[in-house]
Amino acid sequence: MAGICCGVVEGETPTPIASSSLRRRCLDLFPLKCIADMAVPPMEGNNRKRQKLDSQPQPRECHNTVQNRESILTTPNKNEEQNKETKGHNQIVVVSEIPTLDSTELENEVVVEEYPKYGVTSVCGRRREMEDAVSVHPSFYSKDSNTQNQDQKSFHFFGVYDGHGCSHVATMCKERLHGIVKEEIEKTDENLDWKSTLEHSFDRMDKEVQGWTHTKHTCICKCNLHTPHSDAVGSTAVTAVLTPEKLVVANCGDSRAVLCRNGVAIPLSSDHKPDRPDELVRVEAAGGRVIYWDGARVLGVLAMSRAIGDNYLKPYVISEPEVTVTERCDEDECLILASDGLWDVVSNDTACGVVRTCLEAQRKTVSPPGSPRSLMTAEGSDKACSDASILLTKLALARHSSDNVSVVVVDLRRDKRQHHHQTTTKA
């Protein structure tokens, strides 16, 4: 008995049993191991699929897809980087698109190049799908005022696109419209007619969308499952080109641009609603009808009278923008571009008041005007504008906005002071 307890006598007899059971267990687990090994390689495909989803937003992106700041800053995408943060239950995504420059560019250009400060916020809100898109391109076009290259004029591009039916038209506008505008500017650089330039740009963008819908496309999009319905997809477009002397706004649809000047909200665009008197006359003159079905709608379908895309509603729905050219002055404070997810529940005056409060609150803590370094780190220089855009978005959600909400806030005072300093220095 003592031998048995100490494991000296008969203690070796259980060993074969344990070995056989262990072998049996290994044999049972072997097929599972093979299956697990076979499941590893497709992860690369999943990564590619995730990149495609990032380029073409899907319903899950509204809740699950939020990129990490560090990973984005270390992985530049062409000339832009997106900086996203998640706050609260509604997944508020702060996007700061920042130009990436190599060392030679930093030495030769950034020393003299200065950007306006801005902040961007875009949220899915209470919608199942994210169909908004935002485009920010500081210094998307530059030209020299003299041969010595001592005075370089830079144009800055900002755009908000509110898609409907699907997100691919808004995404195409985000990726292409600023480039088209740049090409049109280069065509007529000497005698620049802003109205004609932007009208041609929007027309080219609309034709590209039409060509895309009639060709085979491979991007992951719900329209792939319903190809005949791709003609029923469109997007609004409100863009602003900021120059040292002018603020040029082009609008097509019901997104809006508002300028805050000396505490007064000045709308720089007019919403293209089907029941707007002049738009109603135009639609009916083209042979269409405005039917009141949950509000005024073209043919009882679309709640706006102008948009990019929507091929099935042409010629009643057109892509021609309304263009306003505003001379900049010392009283300009900020510019707000936003989709109707904001403007449906927040007035122009309220929005300007919120932004002015945020800019004043952080006026003493921000970095020097137009600092490229602060922009590149996405810290400090545009914090006040980002806070303002976030606050406007939260206000829209608190007021039960039922749409996607996208907001761009541009601080015109800093850029204005910079321009004033340059002109006084030359004098």
Q: How much is the pLDDT for 273?
A: 97
Give pTM, 2 decimals. 0.71
Q: How much is the pLDDT for 81?
A: 41
Euclidean distance between CA atoms 91 and 274, whole angstroms: 33
Euclidean distance between CA atoms 293 and 1, whole angstroms: 93
Q: How much is the pLDDT for 147?
A: 42
Within 225-294, strands assigned E span 234-235, 237-242, 246-252, 256-261, 264-267, 290-292
Q: How much is the pLDDT for 24?
A: 59
Q: How much is the pLDDT for 48?
A: 31
Q: How much is the pLDDT for 153?
A: 85
User: What proportion of the chain, given as a percentage, has pLDDT over 70?
Assistant: 60
Would you say residue 341 has pLDDT above 50? Answer: yes
Q: How much is the pLDDT for 232?
A: 86
Q: Kindly report whether the peptide bond that precedes residue 59 is cis, defined as omega within 30 degrees of 0.
A: no
* Sequence-ordered list of residues with C-beta below 8 angstroms from that of 62, at least 6 positions apart, any chain: 91, 124, 127, 128, 129, 130
Averaged pLDDT for residues 289-318: 95
How many residues are listed for the chain in this entry?
427
Q: How much is the pLDDT for 414?
A: 54
SS3 state of residue 335: strand
pLDDT one-digit tens code per residue, 113-156: 467 899 999 999 999 999 999 999 999 998 765 444 445 789 99
Euclidean distance between CA atoms 237 and 138, whole angstroms: 18
pLDDT one-digit tens code per residue, 35-90: 333 333 333 333 332 233 333 334 444 443 333 333 222 333 444 444 444 344 44
Q: How much is the pLDDT for 25?
A: 55
Q: How much is the pLDDT for 190?
A: 74
Euclidean distance between CA atoms 180 and 230, whole angstroms: 23
Would you say residue 425 has pLDDT above 70? Answer: no
Could you give the domains of the chain?
76-272+307-426 (3.60.40.10)
Mean pLDDT computed over every residue of the chain: 74
Compare 373 and 264 and report the one with higher pLDDT. Answer: 264
Q: How much is the pLDDT for 188?
A: 82
The region of weakest confidence among 238-252, 340-354, 362-376, 381-395 is 362-376
